[in-house]
Structure 1
Amino acid sequence: MKQLVITLIGTDRPGLVETLSDTVFQHHGSWQASSLSKLAGKFAGIIQVDIKDDDATSLSLALNKIPELDVLIADAPHLPEPDSTTHSLTVTGNDRSGIIQEVTREIAKFGININNLETHAQSAANSGGVIFTADFDLDIANTTSLDDLGEALEGLSDDLIVEFDANDI
């Protein structure tokens, strides 16, 4: 059994995810995890699939035949569980260029792995400005202090609000 990570981008259309799931199923793959989005009118996704070695090539060929879809498939080794805990982090502030660069640089200084990042910007009803929000899922070593990380992130800018999931504290 092997594990594949499949990255997809293409023209968004109704039924595309069903086509993908059916293709994985028809080639005896097991859909394990995914993150699928519509961004700027395009479908973008990443899927983790477990599949027998003998079926991987036929799945690859079938996925690459789906019209208007670019596919990249990578083997992913099964890795041991790290000595870390996953924590949720939300960073909110007035929108400006460089927020993600600054925050991810600080996260990297702590040797933290980013499992997931979702961002969005929206109009602030009262101020007329734009508020930027970044939601992270982070693998943080059990020896790393959340307080130290929070202080470092809050020190980046006076207007950044840094919140860890209440269940993480």
Structure 2
Amino acid sequence: MELILTVMADDRPGIAERLAREIEQQQGNWLESRMATMAGKFAGIVRIELPDGHFEATQQALLGLASEGLAIQIERGHNATTPATEHRLEVVGNDRPGIVREVTNALANLAVNVIDLQTEIEPASMSGGTLFRAKIEFTLNESQSMTGVVKALEALSPDLMVDI
């Protein structure tokens, strides 16, 4: 059985280790994760695999970490049923309020399934402003095209560049 854990806590050393120790004690296998610190908070998402019959004890143990300041949500994972291919692209443009909504709206309108979205702003060396950068991993089914995705994103703004 696979579980997806979301973890939030005030940032401090040892959070990932404490979580890993508890998963190992429950005979779980840590399969993959994404973790970050933002504005003094630790945020993580972890996919683990458990032997059959270990869900209740693992759930109780992980939720018990709340006494140590870890807020954990647990969901059962499942496999995708629609065949799809994975793609990656990067979008760069002048930062402005609403740009994330514009990009995600364009993808949603095409029924693109986003599986990883990383965004950041950085200084624009030439203009003195800020640049928006998004790294997007997504899947397309056989009726969708990468060309359509790129055209939709480039149509958002003349300064928006899409790199596959």
Superposition deviation, residue 156 in structure 1: 0.7
Secondary structure in structure 2 of the residue aligned to 1:86: strand
1:32 paired residue number: 31
User: 5+ residue gaps in structure 2?
Assistant: none
RMSD: 1.3
Partners of 1:136 and 1:53 in 2: how far apart?
Answer: 34
User: 5+ residue gaps in structure 1?
Assistant: 165-169
Letter in 2 for 1:104: T
Partners of 1:78 and 1:148 in 2: how far apart?
Answer: 27
The answer on 1:4 being equivalent to 2:3 is yes
The answer on 1:45 being equivalent to 2:44 is yes
Partners of 2:148 and 2:15 in 1: how far apart?
Answer: 44
Partners of 2:44 and 2:59 in 1: how far apart?
Answer: 16
Superposition deviation, residue 75 in structure 1: 1.2
Partners of 1:84 and 1:116 in 2: how far apart?
Answer: 15
1:161 paired residue number: 161
Partners of 1:107 and 1:70 in 2: how far apart?
Answer: 31
Letter in 2 for 1:48: R
Superposition deviation, residue 78 in structure 1: 3.2
Matches within 5 A, 1:1-169: 2-66=1-65, 67-80=68-81, 82-164=82-164
Partners of 2:15 and 2:131 in 1: how far apart?
Answer: 32
TM-score (norm 1): 0.90
**Aligned residues of 1:34 and 1:48 also touching (Cα < 8 A):** yes
Partners of 1:145 and 1:15 in 2: how far apart?
Answer: 43
Superposition deviation, residue 87 in structure 1: 0.5
- Point out 4+ residue stretches in structure 1 off by more than 6 angstroms: none
TM-score (norm 2): 0.93
Partners of 1:101 and 1:79 in 2: how far apart?
Answer: 26
Q: Deviations over 1:14-72 (max 9, x none)?
A: 11111111110110111111111111111101111111242222222222222111111
Partners of 2:102 and 2:10 in 1: how far apart?
Answer: 32
1:167 paired residue number: none
User: CA, structure 1 residues 129+140, in 2 after alignment: closer, same or farther (shift >3 Å)?
Assistant: same
Q: Deviations over 1:87-133 (max 9, x none)?
A: 10111111101111111111112111000000000111221100010
Letter in 1 for 2:92: T
Letter in 2 for 1:18: E
Identity of paired residues, percent?
35
- The total of aligned residue pairs comes to 162
Letter in 1 for 2:45: I
Partners of 2:84 and 2:13 in 1: how far apart?
Answer: 39
Superposition deviation, residue 159 in structure 1: 0.8
